[in-house]
Amino acid sequence: MMKFLDLFKYFSNDLAIDLGTANTIIWKGGEIALNEPSIVAFDNNTHKIIAIGGDAQKMIGKVHKDISIIYPMKDGVIADFSVAEGMLRAYISRISGNWARRIIVCVPSGVTEAEKRIVRDSCEHAGAKEVHLIAEPMASAIGIGLNVLEPEGNLIVDIGGGTTEIAVIALGGIVCQESIKVAGNTMTHAILQYFRARHNLGIGEATAEGIKIAGGSAYKMNEELEIGVKGRDLVTGIPKRINVSSIEIRENALNDSIKRINESIINLLVKTPPELAADIYDRGIWLAGGGALLQGLDKRIEKETKLKVSVPEEPLLAVAKGTGIVLDNLREYKNVLIKHTPYL
């Protein structure tokens, strides 16, 4: 029989939201209730949203002049207030009606006060009665299963769509952090640009994303792959197909992004207090976010840092799970939330 507390959570309208650049993931009632791309299709004539999430994603690269594909999130924060609000309202309505009693949203650790206000306002306009914020690396650590409240240091690297968040966490707070605008979308764009520059082949974002998932890597693979890529010849304008190796993708398209992430990790290690550095030596580094799924990334970071690197079972869901755990245990975790500064 379901316990009373579990029953309360199930019927509660409290939500935890990972409002990411690439995906929006919502936790409700102790589980993931929604996982959709952060994409909106907008009718330029009626000025109304006509599709969101997966339905809008199918339209990428195939729309006419009356429809725009909008990414309301950029670098982990809201770039288009009205469209983001419309997307949030639609998602909230889908899983909990037109309102939510309490919402916790994760944001990048380097978010500004103005960006915090935009997130709060968007959630309130979308139907939330009470809004709290939590830093992404903190949520990731909790979602992975680490005890962030203990006096031990943990190093988290959360590679999302728009930003990579790197933080040392201890005693329920972020001791030091790095936030860089190099992440999954940067890698996808680098692949797209590489094919234009090196092969005179025009490909779309969806194709570039598919190449990254299928043949992208950060370290030599046990069995290197050959990938067939279809696009438009930029010289003749005729569609064509070429074959490339996973080695070419790794060394030419992805290497710069991976190097910048590694450099940021090392920069943070340099700033880490000695006692916490000793903890990290014993515990190693934890990777989270969709970027953690890049093949061989853990091995590449191990090689550069000489530290053990671990990847949880579902790195893409770590932030949403951690935010959900905080939501369901708010009294225990209230001190990990970002402190609210009243507007003047």
- Per-residue pLDDT of 126-136, as tens digits, reads 788 889 999 99
What band does 231 get if pLDDT is binned at 50, 70 and 90? very high
CA distance 92 to 105: 13
- CB-based contact 293:316 (threshold 8 Å): yes
Residues 133, 265: Cα–Cα separation, whole Å: 24
pLDDT of residue 193 exceeding 80: yes
- Please state, rounded to an integer, the average pLDDT across all residues of the chain: 90
> Taking every pair of C-alpha atoms in the chain, what is the biggest distance, in angstroms?
67
Cα 137 → chain centroid: 11
Which residues, 6+ apart, have CB-to-CB distance to 232 below 8 Å? 201, 202, 203, 238, 239, 240
**Torsional sign, CA 43, 49, 50, 56:** positive
| pLDDT tens readout for residues 255-285 | 999 999 999 999 999 999 999 999 999 999 9
Q: Of 259, 294, 107, 285, which Cα lies nearest the Cα of 184?
A: 294
Three-class secondary structure of residue 339 per DSSP: coil
Residue 4: its pLDDT value, please?
43
Comparing 35-44, 95-104, 105-114, 191-200, which segment has the lowest mean pLDDT?
95-104
Confidence of residue 81 (pLDDT cuts 50, 70, 90): confident
- Residue 5: predicted pLDDT: 47
Q: Give the model's pLDDT for residue 3.
A: 54
The whole-angstrom separation of Cα 18 and Cα 131 is: 13
Domains plus CATH for the chain? 4-137+318-336 (3.30.420.40), 139-182+256-317 (3.30.420.40), 184-253 (3.90.640.10)
Task: Give this prediction's pTM.
Answer: 0.88
Answer for the pair 162, 141: CB distance below 8 angstroms, yes or no: no
Helix (H) or strand (E) holding 184: helix 184-199
Report the pLDDT value the prediction gives residue 94, as an integer from 0 to 100. Answer: 87
* CA 189/CA 303 separation, integer angstroms: 26
**Rounded to an integer, what distance in angstroms lies between the CA atom of residue 302 and that of residue 305?**
5
